[in-house]
Structure 1
Amino acid sequence: MNNYSRIFFIILVYFASSQVSSQQTMVEVDRIIETNLNQTVPIIGTIISNKKSNLMAPLPGKIDSILFEEGDFVSKGKLITRIDYEKYKWLYEKAKAIVKIHEVEYNNSKTETKINLSDLNRMKALKNSSAFNEANYEKLTNLHEINQSNETKALAKLESAKYDMNMALLDFKNSQVRAPYDGILEERFIEDKEVVTIGTKMFNIVSKKYLEVLAEIPTLRVTNLSIGNTITAITVDNFKILASIRAIGAEENSKTRTVKVYLSFNKSEELRNLFAGENITLQVPIGEGKKALTIHKDAILKREGISLAYVVKDNKVEIRPLKLGEAVNNRFIVYNGVSLNELSVIKGNERLRPGQAVKLKEKQ
């Protein structure tokens, strides 16, 4: 190809490209609007029992007998096991007998004090007569002080014996391990005739009567919640429960950025048995009664992990980086990058270039 032919070809290509670029590309657009945030997001929670206890051995001894097996229902106050029952029974009986001994000793000391005081008073009455004996009077006075001291000592021993008796009675009662509330004996950690020490874990009891929901909800969502708010909870088999927020935790988990939320529900509404540990999905509102700027999902382009959108200005497109939030139906909450009522390209945006002229077809 000679030089004239080459120049002609370049000029031809230039005019062809200029003509293409001067043509307006038809695109469909959608306005940036404010949307009511009446949507919900699913959060996985767990049904928990707020009465779940490990029953520990209250005193040392040998397990006499175990009256229930794992999985059995036990009602409040029902005897579950005994720990050295006979031993603690006789220790209590012995303590009662010691109290009786000290009661007799105390009563005797009171009688001796009373008799001595009577003799002392008679001697005082003879003080101005010839029958008065100074030596006997001093002897009776000293004896009275000794008797009062013995009476005080006997009373202290009696009180101490009563304390010991009460402790023995407490041990005797504690040797009979009873259910603290209605529940299921979920686990057993001891065997019959096993020797236990104070604090040995014996049983795990779980109440099915006092159930509630625990969920760790993102802090951003918790700011929209208040105690008393009602939230729909859905089990894995699509059974719906209306739950009410009972309490909101005070601490954020620094690892998960979540806060614990506790929800109660009316068990009379149950259509089937619920179980502690069962997963349940909460429909948590993302901002009830609030509005947020939103952009159509089809306007979003992803480039190397960055969210972008083409926005039309003076019939030409500008590309904008976006900071997006959660989805609201077919839109996304947008925190920055666009303004209210701007037009975003939702169709034909894949091949656009910044500054390209466009012809608009607004979405109906």
Structure 2
Amino acid sequence: MNTILKYTILFIISIKMAFTQQATLIEVDKIKFEELNQTVSLIGNIISKKNTKVMSAVSGKIDKLFVEEGDMVKKGQALLNIDYNNYNWLYQIANSNLIKAESVYENSKVETLINTLDLNRMSALKNSSVFNVSKYEKLENNNKILKSKEIISLAELNISKNKQNIAKLNLQKSRVKANFTGFIDRKFVEAGEVVPIGQVLFELVSIEKLEVFAEIPSYRARILEIGQSIKFKTSDNIFYEGKIRSIGAKENSKTRTTKIYIDFNQEKKLRKILINENINLLIPVSQGEKSLTIHKDAILKREGISLAYIVIDNKVQIRPLKLGEAVGNRFIVYDGVKNNEIAVTKGNERLRPGQLVNIKNKENE
């Protein structure tokens, strides 16, 4: 009797052990809809709103350089002279020609006036015996000639004025000045060189007006709006906040990206910001939309296919998934699972479809 009881107990224990060996211990997480308020980090750059190549507006020899590469300059500060004396002399000549043209015009007006007075006096004597027809006709014809000369001298005066304006403008252009306050990023010429019109002389960059530039995936740019607040951080984890100034209307067909520009408060000078410095833009994933998500630890990759084990009645089923982007420690899932289903997150590497399981963290069911 004792022997039979012993064997019965051993049989029950072996059955329990066999059951325990078949039911694999796992951890799970619920598949659920979540409001996607998370952000993704994308690389951007600090750029200057004002970055220009200073070019020569006149041709000639560079007389003198006033700045070197790396110098800070103020708006209107002289950078170099191009044949300054030559253009100054041309301006003086234009001034003299203008004075000459003014004098010629004044003389022509006086001559016309004198002739007109004589003509009027002679015309008043038409009914008199002293009236001279020949002299009258001569004065009349001379009046026409003098008026024509007056018109010509006035035209010459206008030409001289315009030549003086051009000479003055060229004199001003011969002294190249900074368009705005900034620093000389690059210098392309030296004193003594002869430059044509349009020669690049300097690259001038403003450090007062900066903005963030980035090329982000077009599908992320579609949910952004002009004026929307965007945070970004520097490489040493200093946070700034700005507003979107512009969103590109054109997609780069090669990279599938779109340009965005972000203004930010430069008065918040936590440290010196460098032009072309890399920053991390924190771009929102969506505008408060809800999506079905699955924990990233539930995902298995088999021959390029995303799979997950789903627990139903303490047994697992394997499902192929159609995943979206990662959001924190979860993936958006478009197909393969349903809301509130239970996915295996730990112990799923050695599971087989239909296998019995014991859930360790039942609070996540």
The answer to whether TM tops 0.5 is: yes
Unaligned runs of 5+ in 1: 1-18
Distance 1:155 1:50 in 2: 48
- 1:149-168 correspondence runs (5 A): 149-168=148-167
**For each residue in 1:84-110, what CA deviation from the matched residue of structure 2 results, as whole angstroms up to 9, or x when unmatched?**
010000000000100111111111111
Q: Determine if contact 1:39/1:288 at 8 Å carries over to the other structure.
A: no
Partner amino acid, structure 2, of 1:182:
T
Indicate if the aligned counterparts of 1:113 and 1:147 stay in contact, CA closer than 8 A.
yes
The alpha carbon displacement at 1:70 in A equals: 1.1
Where does residue 6 of structure 2 map in the other structure? Answer: none
Secondary structure (helix, strand or coil) at the match of 2:225 reads coil
What do residues 44-82 of structure 1 show as CA deviations (whole Å, max 9, x unaligned)? 110101111111111101111111111111111111111
Taking structure 2 as the reference length, what is the TM-score of the superposition?
0.88
**Which amino acid in the other structure matches residue 322 of structure 1?**
L
Aligned residue in 2 for 1:254: 253
Question: Separation in 2 of the partners of 1:188 and 1:205?
Answer: 9
Query: Larger deviation: 326-335 or 255-264?
Result: 326-335
Give the letter for the 1:301 counterpart: L
- Partners of 1:243 and 1:49 in 2: how far apart? 15
Residues 1:243 and 2:277 are matched in the alignment: no
SS across alignment from 2:308: strand
Indicate the SS of the match to 1:267.
Answer: coil
CA shift, 1:306, in A, is 1.4
Q: How does 1:128-277 map to 2 (within 5 A)?
A: 128-277=127-276
Secondary structure of the corresponding residue to residue 171 of structure 2: helix
User: TM-score normalized by structure 1?
Assistant: 0.88
User: 1:69: which partner in 2?
Assistant: 68
**C-alpha displacement at 1:215, in angstroms?**
1.0
Instruction: Report the counterpart of residue 15 of structure 2 in structure 1.
Output: none
Per the alignment, residue 342 of structure 2 pairs with 343
Question: Partners of 2:161 and 2:249 in 1: how far apart?
Answer: 47
Percentage of identical aligned residues:
52
Q: Is the contact between residue 316 and residue 357 of structure 2 (CA under 8 Å) also seen in structure 1?
A: no
Structure 1 residue 233: Cα displacement: 1.6
Q: Contact 2:23–2:358 at 8 Å: present in 1 too?
A: no
Partner of 2:280: 281
Report the Cα distance in structure 1 between the residues aligned to 2:206 and 2:233, rounded to whole angstroms.
22
Offset of residue 208 of structure 1: 0.9
Relative to structure 1, the CA distance from residue 302 to residue 271 in structure 2 (aligned partners, 3 Å threshold; closer, same or farther) is same
- Which amino acid is 1:41 matched to? V
Distance in 2 between residues matched to 1:131 and 1:165, nearest whole Å: 51
Q: Kindly state the Cα deviation for residue 243 of structure 1 after the two structures are TM-superposed.
A: 2.0
**Cα-to-partner distance string for 1:204-261 (whole Å, 9 max, x where unaligned):** 1111111111111111211222222222221112222222222211111111111111
Name the CA distance, whole Å, in 2 between partners of 1:121 and 1:155.
Answer: 24
Taking the aligned partners of 1:132 and 1:320, their CA distance within structure 2 comes to: 125
After the TM superposition, which of the residue ranges 124-133 and 26-35 deviates more from structure 2?
26-35
Shift of 1:43: 0.7
RMSD of aligned alpha carbons: 2.0
* d(CA) in 2 for partners of 1:277, 1:357: 56
Alignment of 1:76-115 (within 5 A): 76-115=75-114
Q: Distance in 2 between matches of 1:312 and 1:27?
A: 10
Segment drifting more, 191-200 vs 24-33: 24-33
Match of 2:320 in 1: 321
Q: Secondary structure at the match of 1:274?
A: coil
| 1:7-86 matches, cutoff 5 A | 28-86=27-85
Contact 1:30–1:363 (8 Å) recurs in 2: no
DSSP-derived class of the 1:269 partner: coil
Amino acid at match of 2:173: N
Q: Report if aligned partners of 1:33, 1:340 keep a CA contact under 8 Å in 2.
A: yes
AA paired with 2:214?
A
Q: Distance in 2 between matches of 1:192 and 1:33?
A: 71
Per-residue CA deviations over 1:139-173 (Å, capped at 9, x if unaligned) read: 21111111111111110111011101100000000
1:276 maps to a residue whose letter is: I
Whole-angstrom CA distance in 1 between matches of 2:363 and 2:150: 104
Which AA in structure 2 matches 1:82?
N
Q: How far does residue 193 in structure 1 lie from its aligned partner after superposition? A: 1.1
Match for residue 120 of structure 1?
Answer: 119
Give the equivalent residue in structure 2 for 1:12.
Answer: none
Q: Secondary structure at the match of 1:64?
A: strand
**Superposition deviation, residue 310 in structure 1:** 2.8
Higher mean alpha-carbon deviation, 199-208 vs 321-330, is at 321-330
Rounded Cα–Cα distance in structure 2 between residues aligned with 1:128 and 1:80: 76
**Cα drift, residue 327 of structure 1:** 2.0
How far residue 313 of structure 1 moved from its aligned partner, in angstroms, is 5.3
- Residue 28 of structure 1 deviates from its aligned partner by 4.5
User: Given that residues 29 and 363 in structure 1 are in contact (C-alpha distance below 8 angstroms), is that contact kept between their aligned partners in structure 2?
Assistant: no
Compute the displacement of 1:26 (Å).
Answer: 6.1
- Residue 198 of structure 1 and its aligned partner are, at CA, apart by 0.5
Whole-angstrom CA distance in 2 between matches of 1:89 and 1:227? 50
Task: Tell me how many residue pairs correspond in the alignment.
Answer: 343
Unaligned runs of 5+ residues in structure 2 are 1-17
In structure 2, the residue matched to 1:14 is none
What is the CA-CA distance between 1:320 and the residue it aligns to? 2.7
